[in-house]
């Protein structure tokens, strides 16, 4: 209860309801509430439900905004306008989409395993909503500050795998099964580089709490440990099943992969879960690597967080609009032969640097950053040579197209 009360927003609403000395001291203007301290738990629960309501609905609105934003932005990437019919700049298009999805016929195939089939989309959405509990949206604006926040996030995101497998298996469709099996192979593999990349951050911060991680970032970790940032970014793109790692739905191969048999709101929930995961993942990356709410004091912390957040989402949309898809064996190769080793190099280099400078000053931090960048380029060059595409050779000459006159 006490850690929750660290959050300013939570405490504010709590104090409007409950009368206590602490509240009276903290917020002089509003004074204290009407519930006596004996029944404080009621006030606490009401506050919690109110905030959960706000965050869940905020996430839903965020998804609608993201659907619109993604379609508009991808439209621009693809030299076209994007949706522009419903409302100004087409901002009501996702609303129309949502209404359409709700009124579609709900089909469940005869061969499907009904229980698993219905449970899968729910399992997709609920865990993602839980991530929002630990995200600080600004200075002292968070729902809770778990002391194992990073671990919590990693654990919650991995339940995604289960949902995808259940959807693929339960729908009794071969495209679905292939999609589900691919998902398990890929998502399990990318858990490891993702967790190991987060270890680099945890080492520097000395804490698993997301608030502590943000506060420890004098230099944002994206600049301080580029290797960790890159691997985390790639691994979380894979965790989100987004292009270039969208082999689980792979439109051009598996039609829609594990979602092939889903229609109506069940499909809507998958859609929702996927976009919500994008939002949550971007927020996590902002917290762990881009300094969270921190920024020059021209703007309030919340604005800084929002700006970084939206930029991060745009990066994901950018990936989606530009990259072709990797093949399944190449994806596994990238995870196990590339990212895994790169994250180990990252952890090792941070550990060595922290042995040399256990309590670094600002100048020492910048020296460490420089060393990290050197490690970054050298290791990327080596791994690029080892894993990258080899230009095919014929008679010792690189292959080319011959123009016959």
Contact footprint for another protein (CB under 8 A): 74, 77-80, 174-175, 178, 182, 243-244, 246-247, 250-255, 320-330, 388-389, 392, 394, 399-405
Shortest separation between residue 271's beta carbon and another protein, angstroms: 16
Q: Rounded to whole angstroms, what are the CA distances from 375 to 6, 199, 340?
A: 39, 17, 15
Residue 362 or residue 392: which is nearer to another protein going by CB?
392
Shortest separation between residue 286's beta carbon and another protein, angstroms: 24
DSSP character for 394?
E
Shortest separation between residue 141's beta carbon and another protein, angstroms: 35
Buried b (16+ CB within 10 A) or exposed e, 210-221: bbbbbbbbeebb
Shortest separation between residue 325's beta carbon and another protein, angstroms: 3
Q: Tell me the H-state helices in 296-400.
A: 301-322, 328-333, 340-356, 362-387
Residue 146 or residue 247: which is nearer to another protein going by CB?
247
Q: Rounded to whole angstroms, what are the CA distances from 101 to 113, 267, 348?
A: 23, 8, 49
Residue 221 or residue 275: which is nearer to another protein going by CB?
275
Residue 110 or residue 252: which is nearer to another protein going by CB?
252
DSSP character for 229?
H
Burial of 75 (0-12, 13-18, 19+ CB in 10 A): middle
Please state, as a whole number, how many other Cβ atoms lie within 10 Å of the Cβ of residue 291: 24
Residue 1 or residue 402: which is nearer to another protein going by CB?
402
Shortest separation between residue 403's beta carbon and another protein, angstroms: 4
State CA 64 to chain mean position distance: 17
Residue 298 or residue 397: which is nearer to another protein going by CB?
397
DSSP character for 208?
S
């Amino acid at each position: 209860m006490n850690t929750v009360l660290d959050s300013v927003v939570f405490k504010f609403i709590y104090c409007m309801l409950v009368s206590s000395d602490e509240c009276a001291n903290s917020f002089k203007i509003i004074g204290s509430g009407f519930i006596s301290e004996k029944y404080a738990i009621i006030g606490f629960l009401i506050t919690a439900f109110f905030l959960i309501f706000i965050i869940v609905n905020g996430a839903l609105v965020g998804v609608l905004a993201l659907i619109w934003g993604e379609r508009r932005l991808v439209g621009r990437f693809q030299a076209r306008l994007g949706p522009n019919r419903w409302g100004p700049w087409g901002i009501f298009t996702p609303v129309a989409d949502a209404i359409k999805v709700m009124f579609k016929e709900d089909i469940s195939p005869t061969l499907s395993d009904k229980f698993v089939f219905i449970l899968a989309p729910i399992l997709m959405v609920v865990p993602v909503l839980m991530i929002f509990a630990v995200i600080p949206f600004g200075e002292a604006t968070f729902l809770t500050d778990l002391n194992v926040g990073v671990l919590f996030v990693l654990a919650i995101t991995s339940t995604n795998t289960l949902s995808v497998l259940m959807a693929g298996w339960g729908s009794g469709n071969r495209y679905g099964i292939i999609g589900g099996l691919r998902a398990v192979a890929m998502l399990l593999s990318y858990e490891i580089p993702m967790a190991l990349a987060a270890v680099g951050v945890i080492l520097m911060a000395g804490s698993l709490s997301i608030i502590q991680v943000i506060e420890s970032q004098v230099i944002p970790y994206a600049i301080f440990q580029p290797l960790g940032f890159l691997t985390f970014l790639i691994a979380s793109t894979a965790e989100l099943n987004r292009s270039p790692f969208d082999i689980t739905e792979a439109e051009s191969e598996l039609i829609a992969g594990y979602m092939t048999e889903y229609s109506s709101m069940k499909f809507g929930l998958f859609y929702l879960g996927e976009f919500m995961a994008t939002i949550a993942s971007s927020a996590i990356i902002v917290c762990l690597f881009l300094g969270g709410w921190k920024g020059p004091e021209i703007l309030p912390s919340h604005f800084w967080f929002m700006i970084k957040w939206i930029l991060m989402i745009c990066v994901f949309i950018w990936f989606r609009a530009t990259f072709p898809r990797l093949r399944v064996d190449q994806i596994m190769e990238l995870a196990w032969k590339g990212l895994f080793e790169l994250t180990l190099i990252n952890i090792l280099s941070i550990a060595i640097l922290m042995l040399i400078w256990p309590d670094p000053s600002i100048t020492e931090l910048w020296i460490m950053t420089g060393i990290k960048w050197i490690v970054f380029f050298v290791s990327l060059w080596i791994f690029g040579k080892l894993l990258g595409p080899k230009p095919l050779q014929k008679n010792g000459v690189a292959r080319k197209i011959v123009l016959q006159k």
